[in-house]
Amino acid sequence: MATHFKIAANAAFTDNCTEFYQDPVNGEYNPRYQWPRRGSILPCLSGVQIQDMGLDMQDRKILIRDNYALKQSHVDALQAKYEQKGAEWYFTDGVYTFRVVIWDFQPTLNTRAWFKGLSLAEDGDPPADRYIWYNYEMTLLVRGVIT
């Protein structure tokens, strides 16, 4: 499992960087989402011969989803990147670095945490920032593998 996630404008992650808080705890991180294996299975007299050429990374997807995971500032930063349709970003999971396009980003307010904060507020004001958490699902389209 990765130790952290970052999406930035360059591979050094020093320019326009958005860093996730945590790995998906209640969700999923699949760096090989919809990546077919290349190769063939050839019948022969002794059974079959399997030719495995590994995974084809080009134009494949990475899936990240989690519940109760992102704060408003991270949602805003990721949404701004997502709205730049076709823009390429660098994504790292702490092990690999990919050149990606944010294909889909769907944040939703975790209403259970928000209502809990609202009920704890004594005077009925909106809850403190610590109760505003977002669930999300993000699909990244891989354009290249850097490391």
pLDDT digits (tens, 9 = 90+) for 106-140: 999 888 777 777 777 766 666 667 778 889 999 99
Instruction: Write the CATH number for 116.
Output: 2.40.30
User: Is 57 contained in some domain?
Assistant: yes
Q: pTM here?
A: 0.73
Tell me the C-alpha distance between 114 and 136, whole Å.
15
Number of domains in the chain: 1
Does 30 fall in a domain?
yes
In a domain, 1, yes or no: no
CA 95/CA 48 separation, integer angstroms: 35
In a domain, 116, yes or no: yes
